[in-house]
Each structure stands twice: as C-alpha cells, then as structure tokens.
Amino acid sequence: MMKYAQSVEMAYYGFVFSDINFHSITERELTMKCFRCNNALNKTSEDAAHFYSCSSCNAHYRLDEHTGLCDRWRMPLSLVLYGVIFDKNPETKAVAIAADFKARDDLDLANIVNDIKAELKSPRQKVSSILNFEYLNEDKLRLFLKLFVNEYESCNH
C-alpha cells in the first residue's frame, strides 16, 4: 500500500524535483500550466515572490521552490485548509469546519466543493504547500478535505 502511494506521488511530483536540479526557476516558468484549464500562466509579481495567474479562468498560483506550483492564498482550497493550519489531526475538525462554511453567505460553497473534489480525484499539487501548516502531513490534509466534502454533500440531499 505504502509502495503504491509513493510511486503515485513520484509520478505526480517527480518532474518538479528533477527540474530543480537542472533548471532555474525562470526556465521552469516557461512551461507552467494552469491546473484547471491548462492555459499558460502569467507572472504577477515583480519582486522575488513567485506568483502567477491564469488569464483564462483567473486562478492564482504560487511557485514553491521545493514542491512546485500550488494554489495561492484565497483560492478555494486555501480557505478551507486555513481552518486547520495549527491542527495535528485536521481530519477530526472536518465536520465542524463544514458547518462553519455552510453558515457563511459570503462564499460560493458549491464552487469550493467542486474544486476540492477535482483536486482529490486527480491530485495536482502538494496541498500541504498551500499554507504554512504547523504539522506538515499531506495524507491527513487530503483526508480532511475528503471528509469536508462528505459532510457538505451528506447535508445537501
């Protein structure tokens, strides 16, 4: 089981790590595509920060020098993940955070849930790179997102 998970992870992220060894960030920028619509990304920062956006679907990204491209703060996943930024066991808070989100009327929750489902169905990034988590655990954060979606959907039928 572990072996399978590791090989899947290498398939998703292997090219990112090999790129770091042989190319500068500037060279990598030329080939970066939007996770959501495959459009070429535009750099949106003039300073040392590596922020990018998609002119087609308006998604915003940040290039992490260690783990590659990931969603920028304020993208849908980041809003949900923010609730567990200090949690060692984020999966235990999924029900409570889903309830918090359902109580809000300032967010497009259906859009957020659809974006999470797309990420879970075919992983596009290290979700543990999106924010500065106190406890870095990719598997637990993905489990939290899965339970968040389950909770949302169970209350909407």
Number of residues counted as binding Zn ion (CB under 5 A): 8
Q: Residue 139 corresponds to which amino acid? A: D
A 10 A CB-CB count for 52 gives 20
The reply to whether 56 sits near Zn ion by the rule CB under 5 A is yes
The reply to whether 37 sits near Zn ion by the rule CB under 5 A is yes
How near is the Cβ of 119 to Zn ion at its closest, in Å?
14
**Helix residue ranges, H only, 82-137:** 94-102, 109-121
Identify the DSSP state of 7: H
Closer residue to Zn ion, CB minimum distance, 63 or 97: 63
Angle at 87 between CA 96 and CA 52, to 5 degrees: 95
Closer residue to Zn ion, CB minimum distance, 34 or 63: 34
How near is the Cβ of 47 to Zn ion at its closest, in Å?
23
Cβ-contact 80, 100 below 8 angstroms: no
The reply to whether 34 sits near Zn ion by the rule CB under 5 A is yes
Footprint on this chain of Zn ion (rule: CB under 5 A): 34, 36-37, 39, 54, 56-57, 59
